[in-house]
Amino acid sequence: MADQLRLAKLSLHAVMDGRFVWARLGFLPDPQYWQSVFGPGLLKLLHRAPFRHCGKFHDAVAMASSSSATALRSIAFISDLVLFDTPGEDQTICEFGPALLANGPNWNGTITVGDPPAVKLLFKGETK
C-alpha cells in the first residue's frame, strides 16, 4: 500500500488523544524533540501518582530515559491498568501507556516508510 501511495514519509502534529494513538501507529517524535522536551516531560509525569505505583513504572522510566524516540512505541503499548483519583471527580481506570502519553506534551513527529516496524504498525502488516 505504501508503494502504491508513493509515500516516503508522513509528518504530523499529535495533540490530545492522538498523542498515544499515533505512537501506536508507528509515528515517532522528531529526535531532537524527544531528547529535549518529550522524554524529560514523560519522566516528570512518571513520578506523579498514579504512574509511580504501577508495576511497569521502572520499565517506563528506562524507556523515557532512552536516547531513542523509538522507546515511545513501547510506552504506548504498556497496558497495565492505573487508577486516576482526581479530587472532585470519579475515579477512572486507564491503561498506563495511553494515560501517560495523553497527559504528556503535544508533539511533532514523522513516520518513515523505510522503517519496517513503523510500516508494520501503520499498515498492520500490509507491506505489499
Over residues 87-114, the pLDDT tens digits come to: 677 888 889 998 888 887 777 788 877 7
Over residues 37-71, the pLDDT tens digits come to: 888 888 888 888 788 888 889 999 999 999 888 88
> Taking the model in full, what pTM does it have?
0.75
Element (H, E) at 29: strand 28-29
Comparing 4-13, 76-85, 89-98, 107-116, the range with the smallest average pLDDT is 4-13
Query: What number is the average pLDDT over the span 59-87?
Result: 87
What pLDDT is stored for residue 25 in this prediction?
82
Distance CA 83, CA 38 (A): 23
What pLDDT is stored for residue 125 in this prediction?
47
What pLDDT is stored for residue 59 in this prediction?
92
- Which of 47, 27, 51, 29 lies closest to 111, judged by CA? 27
Judge contact between 69 and 36, C-beta under 8 A. no
What are the extents of the domains in the chain?
A: 14-112
- Which of 58, 20, 61 lies closest to 44, judged by CA? 61
What pLDDT is stored for residue 51 in this prediction?
86
What pLDDT is stored for residue 16 in this prediction?
58
